[in-house]
Amino acid sequence: MSIDTPRTASAWRRAAAIVSAGILTTALAVGGASAAQAAPVPTPTLESSSAVASPSGALNLVAKDFAPNSALTFTFDDESLTTSPVDGTAQVADNNGTYKGFAFVPANATPGEHTITVTGEIDPSAVLLRALPASASTTITVVAQPTSSVTPATQPLSSYLKNGVTATFSGFTPGATVSFGIATPGTGDSAGPDAVADATGTVTLRFVPEVGTNYANEGEYFLSASSDGGAVRAAQLTFAVTADAAAPAPVAGPATPVKRAATFTG
């Protein structure tokens, strides 16, 4: 049997307080470490330059908050979608986990709502030091592709240089601002100032080439019209410029009889 004197009891209380303080300090340290490890998990996002597009329309896509330098894949509904990166040559997030590229809406896309999805990985440093799969989606509405026609579809160079061609595009949203382009298999440029679609959604372009440019020669040319930053794009049309017909060779007239005697020398 032992008896604690007041002095001994006081010593025990001090020792217990020290131990308790140590346990609390350890608990706080462990809790702090756990809190540090439980950092918010990044939530990847996907943004499209337009919520409305037509078949063959172009969309700018921006994916954010993926693992830095990680590979990404895109789908349009359930079909693979190829994008072209703004920088570099591959569908890979940059050092900040961001990817910027553009893609064409499939030519066979039907009118209605469709989903574009990007799949990759979450930054591994944020979740237990291991990569986790992640995805993000955005929804667009596909509208019918505007139609197009050109007159004349074929003409000789001299006529083309003088009169140009007239193209009509129908099916845009009334009041939409429409941009025009002209191209060859190797070049492309603006075909003139923008126009505003009329109450029927129609715009007309008269293109007369400037002599000395890439578009003032014989050959095949392509005209385009688009709105919503290229997301709504009319069916591309083609016209041809041919060589001018060769001038006919002069035809000799009938011989004229000589009414006097002919003389010869030599």
Note whether residue 136 is domain-resident. Answer: yes
Same domain assignment for residues 138 and 201? no
Least confident stretch, 106-110, 129-133, 139-143, 255-259: 255-259
* 219 φψ region: left (φ > 0), alpha (ψ -120 to 50), beta (else): left
Q: For residue 178, tell me if it sits in a domain.
A: yes
Q: What is the CA radius of gyration of the chain?
A: 37
pLDDT score of 123: 73
Yes or no: say if 51 and 105 are a contact pair by the CB < 8 Å rule.
no
Check residue 215 and give its pLDDT: 97
Whether 214 and 198 map to the same domain: the answer is yes
Q: Is 12 part of any domain?
A: no
Backbone torsions φ then ψ of 103, nearest 5 degrees:
-145, 155
How many domains is the chain partitioned into structurally? 2
HSE-up (13 A, CA, CB side) for residue 135: 10
Residue at which a domain ends, from 142, 170, 192: 142
263 domain-assigned: no
Same domain membership, residue 195 and residue 131: no
Same domain, 74 and 109: yes
CB-based burial label for 73 (10 Å; 0-12, 13-18, 19+):
middle
Domain membership of residue 189 (yes or no) is yes
CATH classification of the domain holding 218: 2.60.40.230
Within this chain, do residues 201 and 216 fall inside the same structural domain, yes or no? yes
Note the helical H segments in 111-191: 157-163
The answer, yes or no, to whether the previous bond of 152 is cis (omega within 30 of 0) is yes
Q: What is the pLDDT of residues 54-109, one digit of tens each?
A: 999 999 999 999 999 999 999 999 999 999 999 888 999 999 999 999 999 999 99
Mean pLDDT of 214-218: 96
Give the Cα separation of 207 and 189 in Å (integer): 12
**CATH code of the domain containing 82:** 2.60.40.10
One domain, residues 152 and 191:
yes
Range of the domain at 187: 147-242
Structure tokens at 28: 């706080």
Which secondary-structure segment (H or E) carries 14?
A: helix 6-37
Would 94 be classed as within a structural domain?
yes
Q: Name residue, tokens 């000799």.
A: 252
Burial class (CB in 10 A: 0-12, 13-18, 19+), 248: exposed
Residue at a domain's end among 142, 176, 209: 142
